Chains A and B, each alone.
Chain A
Amino acid sequence: MTFLPFLISGLGIGAVYALSGVGLVVLFRATGVLNFAFGAIGALGAHVAWQLLEWRLPLVVAVVVAVAVATLVSFLYGRLLAPLLSHRDTVVRAVGTLALALVLIAVMGVVWGELPRRLQFPTDQMFLTLFGVRLTYTRILALLLAVIMVGAITALLSRTRLGLDMRALANDRDLSAILGVRIRQTETAAWVITGVFAGLAGLLLGDLVRLQGTFLTFLVIPAIAAAILGQLRSLWMTAIGGLSIGIAEAVLTPIAAISPYRAAAPFVIALIAVTILGSTAQAALKDR
C-alpha cells in the first residue's frame, strides 16, 4: 500500500494544527500563558457559525461572526481575568485557562448539546484529485491560511511597534516594564490575535473533523505538541511541527499493527519532543 494518499489526507488537519500551534505560541511568547482554552474558544465560534447557517444567514456573516465571537471571548478573558493571575507561576496561568475551557464546554453543552452536527462550507464540494485522493478546497484553504497567518504574524513581530513590544515582553518582562512597554495593552493585543487564530482554526476543524464541543476542545493537545516542537518560540518550526503531526497521524493508517492506535500520534510526538527539547523549553519558561 502506498503512503501518498494518506499524506494528502493528513495535510488539511496538519495545516489546522499548525495554525492552532502558532496561535498558542504568539500568546505564550507575549504573555507567558499556555492557553488550554484555545480549542474550546474555537469550538464556540464554530457552533455559532453552525447556528447562523442554520438560520439561513449568509456564509460570510457566519464566518465573520464566528471569528468575532472567538476573538471577543479571548479578549474578555485576556483583559479581565488573565491579569489577575499575571504574577503567578506559568502553571497557575495555564490552569486558569482550563477553567475557561470548562465553562465554555458547559455553555456549548447547554445550548447545543453533544449531538454530532455537520458544519459545511461550499469549498467542501470543490476539489483537486491527487494520487487518487480528493483534496478539497477547504483543506487547500487551511494550508494557505496557515502560511498567510504565520507570514503575517512574523511581519507584525518584526516590523511594527506592537511586534517590538511583544518581542520585548517575550525576552524579559520586568525589564520591558521598566523600559516603558505598555504591558497590559501588549498582552491584550496578543489575546486578540490568539482569539482570531482560535476562531479560524475552530471553523476549519468543525468542518474537517467534527462539530462537537468537547471533542474540539481536546484538539488543543496536538496544537500544544506542535508548539512544543517549536519550543514555544519559533513560529515556523511550530507550523512545520503541526503539519508533521497531522501527516504522521494519517500515514500511520496503512500500517496494520499501529493503525488502531494512530490517534495517539500527537501525544507520543509531544512526549518525545518534551523529552528531547525539555531543557530548552525549561529555559524558555525561566524567562517568564
Chain B
Amino acid sequence: MRHHLAGLAAGLALFLISVGSANAAASCGVDGSDAASGEPIVIGAITGKTGPDDFSNSTKAAKAYFDCLNAKGGIHGRPVKYLVEDDQWNPEIAAQLAAKLVNDEKAVLMVGNSSFVECGANAEFYKKSGIIAIAGVGVPRECFFAGSYATTNAGPRVSMLGAMGYALDQLKAKSAVCIGPNIPNVGTWSCDGVMLLAKEKGLAAETILMDPGTADSTSTILQAAASKPDVIILGLPKGVTIPLLTAAEEQGLNQTIKFLSAASAYDLSVPGTIGPSWDGNFFVNMEFNDLEATTPDNQNWLAVMDEYGQSSDPRDTFAQAGYLAARIAEKALMSLDPKDITRESVSAAIRQVKGFSSDIFCAPWYFGDDQARHNANSTTRMAVSEGGKWKVISGCSPSPDPELADIRAFEKSAGLAP
C-alpha cells in the first residue's frame, strides 16, 4: 500500500512538472467558443507524402491548426473540412487530385500545399477555376510564377541567395560555387540566381548540378573545390547535404572553405549529425524564425502542434509554413459573412490580405492583388552550426535575388515596403 501511495505521489509530481513545463494553451479562432457545428467549409490541399521523401509536414501543421480552429468555434460557427491529398510526387496524380478537390469536392480555397510537382501541374488550373492556393512550401520555379498561387515560404532560390548575400557581406567571399540538384526548374533556377548575383557583384562563380541519388559525394566535392572558391553554396535536401559535408570534411575542406545552404538544411538534427568540426563553418538560411524561438506566435505554433497534432509530426520549417498558411486562411475567412462563403467571396478576401503579421515571418505577409506572381516572403535570417545546435547570427535581411526586382517594385508601389 505504501509503495502504491509513493508511486501515486511520484506520478502526481511528474504530472505537475509536465503541466508546468508545457507550452501555453494553443490559441486559434475565437477563444472560449464551443466546437463548430455548422455546415463545413471545404478547404483542399495537395502534398507529396509518399515518394522520394515525405514532404507533408506543412499539411500536417495546417491540419493541426484547423482542428484547433474547429474546436474553438470554427469560422463563425462553421467548421473547416480540410481535405489533404497525396500527389505521390507525380504531376499526373497531382492534376487528378486538383480536379477532384476543386470540381468534385467544391473546395473554396487550397491551403498549406507542399509539393515538388504540384505547381507545374496545377497553377494554371487553379487560375482558370478561380480558386487561390495559399501554399505552405513551394519548391520549383512554377510555385513563384503563378497568379493564383502564393506560398508562405521564401523558396529555394530566394533562400539560397539570402545565403549568398551573407557570404558577400559578412564572409567577404570573392568566389563561389553553387551546387544544386539536376531537377528541372529547381537546381538550375537556384544556381542561375547565384551566378547572376555573382556577375553583378563581379565575383567568380560556377554551377555544379548533381544527381541527388549519387553514392559518390567525394567527386562532387572535389569538382567544387577544384576552382578553390571562398564559399560553396548548397541547395539540396538535407539527406544529400550531410553526405556532401562528410565528404568535404574527409578532404579537409571544412578548414579552407565556408559552406552555406538554403533553408532545406535548417533542421534541428543537422548540427549534431555533422559534428563539431563544422562549428562556425556551416551556415544555413532560415525562411522563418528560429524553430525554438520563444516569441508568442512561434510558441503558439508549437502549442497547436502539441495539442492538436501528432507527437510524431515534425516541428520543422515546413510545419511553420503550413501553420502560417492556415492562419492566413483563417484571417481571410473570418472577415466574411458565414452565410456567404463561396469560392468567389473567399478569393476576394484573400486578395485583400495585407500586412499579415507573425513573429515567425521576418516581414508582414501579403497577397499581391492582380499580380502575375507572388513571393511575399523574401526576407530571411542566417544561422551557423555551433556546439551541436543552430545559432542565429543575423537579423532579418532582404534576399539580394535580382529576380525579385518586380516584387520589390510592387511592394513599393502598394505602400507595403518603404
The finding on whether chains A and B are genuine partners in a shared complex, rather than unrelated, reads yes
Interface residues of A in 209-248 (CB under 8 A from B): 209-210, 212, 215, 219, 222, 246
Interface presence of B275 (CB below 8 A):
yes
Q: Which residues of B contact A136 (CB under 8 A)?
A: 250
- What separation, in Å, do the CA atoms of A69 and B226 have in the docked complex? 41
Q: Closest CB of chain A to B253's CB: distance in Å?
A: 10
Cβ contacts under 8 Å, A263 to chain B:
211, 213-216
Q: B348 in the interface, Cβ–Cβ < 8 Å?
A: no
Cβ-defined partner of A222 (8 Å) among B208, B215, B242, B251: B215
Compute how far the CA of A263 lies from the CA of B243 in the bound complex, rounded to whole angstroms.
15
Stretch at the interface among B1-9, B87-95, B144-152, B217-225: B217-225
Contact of B208 among A10, A219, A259, A261 (CB under 8 A): A259
Task: Write the chain A residue with the least CB distance to B211.
Answer: A263
B185 within 8 A of partner (CB): no
Residues of A within 8 A of B216 (CB): 9-10, 13, 209, 246, 249-250, 253, 262-263
Asked whether any CB of chain B lies closer than 8 Å to the CB of A133, the reply is: yes
Within 8 Å of chain B (Cβ to Cβ): is A103?
no
A249-B216, A263-B211, A263-B215 known; A116 vs B250 contact (CB < 8 Å): no
Q: Which parts of B353-386 form the interface with A (CB within 8 Å)?
A: none
Interface members, chain B 256-313 (any A CB < 8 Å): 269, 273-275
Please, which residue of chain B has its CB at the minimum distance from the CB of A254? B223
Mask of B229-261 contacts with A, CB within 8 angstroms, 1/0: 000000000110011001000111000000000
A10 touches B215 (CB 8 A): no
**B210 contacts across to A, CB distance below 8 A:** 259-260
Q: Mark B182-210, 1 if CB is under 8 A from A, else 0.
A: 10000000000000000000000000111
A127 to B252, CA, bound (A): 10
A264 near B250 with CB under 8 A, answer: no
Contact of B273 among A12, A117, A249, A261 (CB under 8 A): A117
A114 at the interface (CB under 8 A from B): yes
Total inter-chain residue pairs, C-beta < 8 Å: 89
Q: How large is the interface on B (under 10, 10 to 19, 20 to 34, 35 or more residues)?
A: 20 to 34
Q: Is the pair B219, A9 in contact by a Cβ cutoff of 8 Å?
A: yes
A116 to B220, CA, bound (A): 19
A253 and B222 contacting across the interface, CB-CB below 8 Å: yes
- Closest A residue to B253 by beta carbon equals A134
> Contact at A219–B211, with CB atoms within 8 Å?
no
B215 touches A212 (CB 8 A): no
Cα separation A246 to B216 with both chains bound (whole Å): 8
Residues of B close to A287: CB separation below 8 A: none
Q: How far is the CB of A255 from chain B (nearest CB, A)?
A: 10
Considering the complex, which residues of chain B in the window 23-67 have a beta carbon less than 8 Å from any beta carbon of chain A?
A: 53-54
Q: Looking across the interface, which residue of chain B has its beta carbon closest to that of A134? A: B251
Verify B243–A250 contact, CB threshold 8 A: no
Evaluate contact between B215 and A13: CB separation under 8 angstroms. Answer: yes
Tell me if A262 and B211 are in contact (CB < 8 A). yes
Residues of B within 8 A of A262 (CB): 211, 214, 216, 219
CA–CA, A246 to B242, complex, Å? 20
Q: How far is the CA of A8 from the CA of B330 in the complex (A)?
A: 57
On chain B, the residues within 8 Å of A133 by CB distance are 222, 251
Q: Kindly state the separation between the CA atoms of A267 and B17 in the bound complex, as whole angstroms.
A: 57
- Given known pairs A209-B215, A260-B209, the reply for A134 and B252 (CB within 8 Å) is yes
Give the residues from 1 to 60 in chain A that come closer than 8 angstroms, CB to CB, to chain B. Answer: 1, 5-6, 9-10, 12-13
Known: A215-B239, A261-B211. 5 other contacts (CB 8 A): A9-B216, A118-B275, A250-B216, A253-B220, A260-B209
Partner-B contacts on A (CB < 8 A): 1, 5-6, 9-10, 12-13, 114-118, 120, 124, 127, 133-134, 136, 205, 209-210, 212, 215, 219, 222, 246, 249-250, 253-254, 259-264
Q: CB within 8 Å of A: which residues of B?
A: 53-54, 182, 208-211, 213-220, 222-223, 226, 238-239, 242-243, 246, 250-252, 269, 273-275
Pairs across A and B, CB under 8 Å, 12 listed: A12-B218, A114-B53, A116-B238, A117-B273, A118-B273, A133-B222, A133-B251, A210-B239, A215-B213, A254-B223, A260-B211, A261-B211
